[in-house]
Structure 1
Amino acid sequence: MSAWDPTTAPDTALGLLSNARRRSVVKTIAANGGMATRQALVKAIVEDETGESIADAKTGCVQEAHISLYHCHLPKLSQHGIVDHNRETGEVVLSDDGEALKAAVETAEDTIGASRKAIEDFYR
């Protein structure tokens, strides 16, 4: 049973998309064929946020990303039917609703990019 319907719950979709880490989770899993490990998600988030490889990132940054995924972001995405997260194995699978949310992420990012360009052009 799906807990998220983009046609009846736009506030829920926007709430899920409001956090950069949740957007990163959806994009990373989608880019990996619909499945990723929790460690791969941590790596993607740390590298995106710090601009460094995970090997060069501070231990606290890596731990904080892992804790926030495990206790906050993955449960929230799972609760809304976007991902299936196996806490024991660390495997995270994108659901059909996750694919729909991925399209919403891409649309939002395209819109933001176009808006930034329009603002930059206006102030030149």
Structure 2
Amino acid sequence: MMTCQTRFPGDADRIYTALGKQRRRSVLYTLVQQGGRAEISPPARRLAAAEQRTSVADATEEMVTQVERQPYHVHLPKLDDNGFIGFDTDTGAVTLTENAGRIAEPVALVSELEDTAERLEGSTEQSRKRVGTGAVESSDE
């Protein structure tokens, strides 16, 4: 059986650290989707939209600014320190490194699963609201 230690000798802690927070996974996933390079604002806009459960186009500048601060000071440096991205603090440019290629597929899978879980949670919440308002018809009648 191949474990993380055999596939990435000595790197398991770095990988778990990098993938341990949803915001870091979202940044990596966004970079994978955008061909490996982005400015800080596009990932922040996507994160703000996901956290507020709105579309990227509907994410307000206030939402983006709030989300932008933490990645800039915490998550991007952590990903940079662990060798998964290059982060230019002067320009805000973020690029995937060769190391990120090793985790791109798991990051994409986890992000898709998180998106699916959020959609399911949203539809469950909508169903609860309809039941609470009596909008759901009984099939026993």
Q: What residue in structure 2 maps to residue 10 of structure 1?
A: 12
Q: What residue in structure 2 maps to residue 30 of structure 1?
A: 32
One-letter amino acid of the structure 1 residue matched with residue 36 of structure 2: G
Q: CA RMSD in A?
A: 2.5
* Equivalent position to 1:41, from 40, 43, 53: 43
Displacement after TM superposition at 1:13 (Å): 0.8
Displacement after TM superposition at 1:109 (Å): 5.7
Are 1:82 and 2:91 an aligned pair?
no
CA distance in 1, matches of 2:76, 2:42: 13
Structure number with greater CO (CA < 8 Å, separation at least 6) is 1
CA distance in 1, matches of 2:111, 2:37: 22
5+ residue gaps, structure 1 = 117-124
Q: TM-score of the superposition, structure 2-length normalised?
A: 0.66
One-letter amino acid of the structure 2 residue matched with residue 33 of structure 1: G
Contact in 2 for aligned 1:82/1:97 (Cα 8 Å): yes
5 Å-filtered alignment, 1:1-124, equals: 6-53=8-55, 56-57=58-59, 60-106=62-108, 108=110
5+ residue gaps, structure 2 = 1-6, 118-141
Provide the aligned length of Structure 1 versus Structure 2. 109
One-letter amino acid of the structure 1 residue matched with residue 33 of structure 2: A
Max radius of gyration: which structure? 2
